[in-house]
Amino acid sequence: MSPTTGTFLPPLKTSDVDGIVRALQDDGAAFMPGAISPELAARACKKIDELEHQEGDDHGARGLLDHYKCVFNRDPFWLQFIDPPGLIDAVEKLMGSQCHIIGMSAWRCFPGFNGDKTGPIGMHIDQIFVPMDEELLVTGRVHLPVFIATMHYYLVDITEDLCPTWMIPGSHKSGRGPGKKAAPTGHGGTLGGEETAWNGVEAQPVLCKAGDGMLFRSEVWHAGSANRTDRVRYLLQVHYAQRGVAQRFPPYIKFRHNPVVMEAASERQQRMMGKHRISAYG
């Protein structure tokens, strides 16, 4: 039996701004039980059920996955997930006062889902901007700024057989992504053939309750996994980044901000969605 998430990532409140900042620097991730209420999580699942696919979404994986992009642009309901109190202060401390979202994705992973349409989502990083020798990071001689971090809102209870995210705390200090090696054992066959440990720390499943959240930086080694239940996993991702990192809003040149959402948004939410003041380069 795997340890519960709270034992390898200390539980933090969304109001604990300094704690979240420290966790992103030390562990690469901050785990926040009760980031949203179970009622809001249940409402979000219903709203995901009502979404219709648009150009740029992924509804492949042999019908086992619905992956909706740019969810923030569909209904003012989603605005509340952009700048929740506390969390947004930590995000701005980490990524600057002009940071923005570079995406918001909703997932429905159906029974039988195992990663993406081509197979398991093996251990990976989302993006690394400054690959470097791990010694520089491990010894603390270099502190890598946070360029991108994703907030996961787990909208249903996550058990080991319902697609937990697997992650390796501290692995952002490797200065690289995981490499290939012989297929690992001990993960129920849900992880691919990549390195699943770093610096003696094994990948752990994020087991949690509906409404719990995890903010993790883009260099942390992590993986999706399989749905071996008869239930659906619902997940909402909010992708934050420094202002200098491009927003990724499929279908790209055809993307238009929804005027109904922009009208309902606060100034800060509008900035987070891309309404910036002109600065260097534009």
Task: Tell me the closest approach of the beta carbon of residue 156 to ligand AKG, in angstroms.
Answer: 12
CB of 49: closest distance to ligand AKG in angstroms?
18
Residue 136 parent element (H or E): helix 134-138
Cβ-contact 92, 115 below 8 angstroms: no
Give the angle subtended at the CA of 260 by the CAs of 254 and 266, to the nearest 5°. Answer: 110
Taking CB atoms, the residue at the shortest distance from ligand AKG is 224
Cα dist from 102 to 122, 265, 274, whole Å = 23, 17, 9
Contact between 162 and 110 (Cβ < 8 Å)? no
Q: From the CB of 115, what's the least distance to ligand AKG, in Å?
A: 8
SS3 category, 112: coil
CA distance 255 to 258: 9
Binding site for ligand AKG (CB under 6 A): 121, 126, 163, 165, 222, 224
Task: Report the residue number, 79 or 162, with the smaller CB distance to ligand AKG.
Answer: 162
Match 């923030």 to its residue by tokens: 72
Q: Between residues 76 and 177, which has the closer beta carbon with respect to ligand AKG?
A: 177
In the bound state with ligand AKG, the residue whose beta carbon lies nearer, of 17 and 123, is 123
* Smaller CB separation from ligand AKG, 170 or 224: 224
Identity of the residue, 222 or 271, whose beta carbon is nearer to ligand AKG in the bound complex = 222
Least distance from C-beta 181 to ligand AKG, angstroms? 19
CB of 3 to ligand AKG, least distance (A): 18
